[in-house]
Amino acid sequence: MTGVRDPNRQVTYEGLRRSTPNMFPKPLLDRLISIDETLPLKYGKRYWLRVSEACAEAWHENPATRDVLDEATGQVRKEKIRYRIKDLVGVASLAKLGESIIKSHIDSGKNDRLESLVAKLVEVDWEKRSDNPWMRSQAGFAGQRELFEILHALVYSDVRPGASQSVVQVLDSDEVEVTE
């Protein structure tokens, strides 16, 4: 991260600062502070640590490059792999998801609810590619809602992008129809 806008850096501290209210909107912040004023910081650190573990490859950009065959020359060259997790859209979407996860954790009364929900993010493919259904949202805050909805569907409903979803429809008091 960097303190100034830099096209060679993924997200600025300003972007992180602007994303933080998504994680701790006033009602949640007030709720946590009323319990213990250090809870927002503790939950924030705990959440981002677990995200960095669940999405370790993308978080640490490892691998950073891959070999690509140039079909015109027949030579192999290194290509930088671009991940979206630390782009503004990734940070903002994960911060918004953090609000839901922290609320779920607190409401559940389970000590590891935060970890079990964040662990589901291991399935996310954070690589920027045109054929990647996980990362088709727009960049920046404009793409936040779409990426958040994709991540939320995975964490809470086990739905992956592009997967067919069953729809349950009550036809009358005795009939139920399930469609794909």
DSSP strand pairing (167-170 vs 76-80): unpaired
State the pLDDT at residue 37. 96
Average pLDDT over residues 99-107: 96
The pLDDT of residue 46: 96
Mean pLDDT value across residues 116-123: 98
Please, are residues 62 and 55 in contact by the beta-carbon 8 Å criterion? no
Instruction: Using pLDDT thresholds of 50, 70 and 90, give the confidence band for residue 8.
Output: low
pTM: 0.81
pLDDT at 91 over 50: yes
Model confidence at 177: pLDDT above 70:
no
Give residue-wise pLDDT tens across range 11-64: 556 777 888 888 999 999 999 999 999 999 999 999 999 999 999 999 998 988
Backbone angles phi, psi at 83, to 5 degrees: -105, 155
| Whole-number Å distance between alpha carbons of 160 and 132 | 12
Q: What is the pLDDT of residue 10?
A: 57
Torsion sign (Cα): 108, 145, 16, 33: negative
Band (138; pLDDT cuts 50, 70, 90): confident
Domain locations along the chain? 13-179
173 pLDDT more than 70 = no
